[in-house]
Amino acid sequence: MIYLDYSANTPADPAVLDALYQTERRYIGNPNSTHPAGRAAQAKMTRVTDGIAELLGVLPEEIIYTSGASESNNLALKGIVQASRHVGKHIISTALEHSSVGGALSALQQQGCEVDLVDIRRDGTIDLKHLRELLRRDTVLVAVCAVDSELGTVQPIREIADILKDYPNCRLHVDATQAVGKTKLVLDGVDTMSIAPHKFYGLNGSGLLVKKRDLVIEPQIHGGGSTTPYRSGTPALGMAVSVEKALRLALENQKERVAHVAALNRRLRTELAKYPAVRFNSPETAVPHILNLSVGGVKGTAFQQELGKYDVCVSVKSACSVEGTPSKAVYAVSRDRKNALSSWRISLSHLTTETEIAEFLQIFDRCYKELLP
């Protein structure tokens, strides 16, 4: 099997699994308990949270543990807007966001909020001029992804944060799900940030929301002690340890890993560009881990299925998208519905080998000739 869908899910690093196993064996107490086993677990939880905060360059009290980015996005968006209802109900986001952001925004619309989508430029970045035009005094939230999951576009988070300095009642939420380990994280001027460890060789079911210390948000889960008043539930020490381990490995090895992936991406672009019907949707400035392309005249689902016959795993849109509809991200940059329907995504990893790429290119050639007249 040739797995080229690392943006949907990554295999857990053995060191992460071992960290979880050792923690669960050693610390059996509930971190909320006051007996010796509980106090030992609580002390370990504190050390782990301190470690995560240090890696991210934030304060320990700004770390909120969640079950994943979907929960983190919902907690941030709903929590910010509900806590800001005395200021306004206007929200700005983009067509590039994950369904957990889109779903949360739809729920907030049903509660009376107004949502505007900022225009996307042909390079996949948001139109900063249009963002300025959309901002109002009753705008309480701007929600953007740091890296788009379908195109790999890196958004200008620092510039967005600078624009929002003139709007003190407006908060900036960044979904960094696809950014960790791939590009530099920008936290300056960011009020909340979602992180999903299963995207960087951590575990499914774990997640983080980084929230500025002075920012008040409405909790979405009530009752039960935790490490924070903003998210109830028994602290999952083993999962927290796994998050810290995965994050440390991702950040400490980022430079070498990105260099390896960039070389693979260049080879793919060079070889695939030789096919007349191939159109690259990912901009040259995208993170190298994501390469979105279209093969003209062939639906993305059809090409995906043909590759699947040879045990090649790629994706059409993000794993959480609705099937049978054109990619919103690709349509936003190409303005071409047929091209968006023909698009699919290759996502790479430091685990991807040159041999796998060579084999993939041979299989692609076979599928291309079979599917195109």
Helices (H), 57-156: 69-83, 99-110, 128-134
Burial 140-172 (b: 16+ CB within 10 A, else e): bbbbbbbbbbbbbbbbebeebbebbeebeebbb
Residue 339's closest CA among 308, 299, 283?
A: 299
Helices (H), 145-285: 157-164, 237-252, 254-272
3-state DSSP assignment of residue 296: coil
In angstroms, the first-to-last Cα distance of the chain is 27
170 is catalytic: no
Show Cβ contacts of residue 291 under 8 Å, excluding neighbours closer than 6 positions: 152, 265, 268, 269, 280, 282, 345, 346, 347, 348
Residue 363's closest CA among 236, 371, 265?
A: 371
3-state DSSP assignment of residue 52: helix
Strand order from edge to edge, sheet including 114-117: 63-66, 207-211, 192-195, 171-175, 139-145, 90-93, 114-117
Show Cβ contacts of residue 282 under 8 Å, excluding neighbours closer than 6 positions: 124, 151, 152, 153, 290, 291, 292, 293
Identify whether the C-beta of residue 291 lies closer than 8 Å to the C-beta of residue 279. no
Of the residues 113, 313, 320, 367, which is catalytic? 320
Identify whether the C-beta of residue 158 lies closer than 8 Å to the C-beta of residue 189. yes
Residue carrying structure tokens 């059409």: 316
Radius of gyration of the chain (CA): 21
Residue 251, sorted as left (phi over 0), alpha (psi -120 to 50) or beta, turns out to be alpha
Q: Which residues are catalytic?
A: 320
